[in-house]
Structure 1
């Protein structure tokens, strides 16, 4: 019996090896096998497939995919005061890969956990910033690391009332979250992107959207 395959894993899941076996959308791809390598929190799979190249020859490929579920992120902004509300929290992978202290400035974000993206991002905004948002604007969706991670991220934006009392720290303690809430002028946030002070991709994408097409554009 294998956890996640024919026996429940730590999260009660089985049949994890079936994901991706029945794909038919690309006639150049024929999936041969899917193996579950790990299924603790997320799922690491190894897929073997035949791929027909543009010149007609077929090669056998093996790729590992990391499936953590889909997620959502949101830029909270005050267009009158020209500020944005970000979070600062420790990210081990960034720390391991050269970030000085692993403390990244980011837009609020989280996994959908089965919810609609708009419902999920309202929940995450409240948990990570202490702010309740209602009218959220869907900006775009994007695959953040399509070479190895399956996650599709939904991007949102919403105004917040910067004149109302806020919180300095937030997060769900039971999930190990220790999040600082950081209000920053939008111009300073753009400068931090330029000098590397903001190095999180989703945050950079939303800040650039806000400058080009969003609440801080010059249209």
Structure 2
């Protein structure tokens, strides 16, 4: 399986953080590092801290929706970490998403949406950004919404077989997707955020 393109970001300069030591623990699929640093607390005292960070690059996520039909497009795929942490079959229902690699967020989400769902995205609109697990993972996600209709379908989707993807494409009413959150059928954080955003704003006002 080819390793994804990933460019590490240099540590920013800060008057509250002094790097003491940084060691690479793993550099296989992505980069795991252990960093020791002095942190200046609010009272002015310096405290030595140790943190491990997993750097996989930034990503983008998209909720495809059809205003007139009240539907959204989601995907179902196997996630080994979820399987290892108690998800019986490892299958998660998600919004389409992927790493930026060397693309800007708009180009990346168009690429991922077509690869995973089979829909060519016309006009993705960015709605917010979020750090998804800032206690240990550096990744920041760019969240998008975009309207679709059947004419935008250019393939069956399904993902990249070379990357081990075996994706099922789902088209469900927004109301049903929200019920799937309540029932536990949807447990993916980025997907819950996008669906709740759609519910608050309303499909008629998303774009």
Give 3-state SS (helix, strand or coil) of 2:169's partner: strand
Query: Is this contact kept in 1: 2:63–2:194, CA < 8 A?
Result: yes
Give 3-state SS (helix, strand or coil) of 1:194's partner: helix
| Aligned equivalents of 2:52, 2:75: Cα separation in 1 | 31
With the length of structure 1 as denominator, give the TM-score of the two structures. 0.86
Question: Are 2:13 and 1:24 equivalent residues in the alignment?
Answer: yes
| Aligned equivalents of 1:87, 1:60: Cα separation in 2 | 43
Query: Is this contact kept in 2: 1:169–1:178, CA < 8 A?
Result: no
Aligned pairs for 1:1-219 (under 5 A) are 19-20=10-11, 23-25=12-14, 27-162=15-150, 170-215=158-203
* Alignment RMSD: 2.4
Gaps of 5+ in 2: none
With the length of structure 2 as denominator, give the TM-score of the two structures. 0.91
Give 3-state SS (helix, strand or coil) of 2:203's partner: coil
**Higher RCO, 1 vs 2 (CA within 8 Å, ≥6 residues apart):** 2
Gaps of 5+ in 1: 1-9
Cα displacement string for residues 170-206 of structure 1 (whole angstroms, at most 9, x for unaligned residues)? 1111111100001111100000111211000000000
| Aligned equivalents of 1:177, 1:62: Cα separation in 2 | 35
160-169 vs 62-71, greater mean Cα deviation: 160-169
Query: Is this contact kept in 1: 2:120–2:153, CA < 8 A?
Result: no
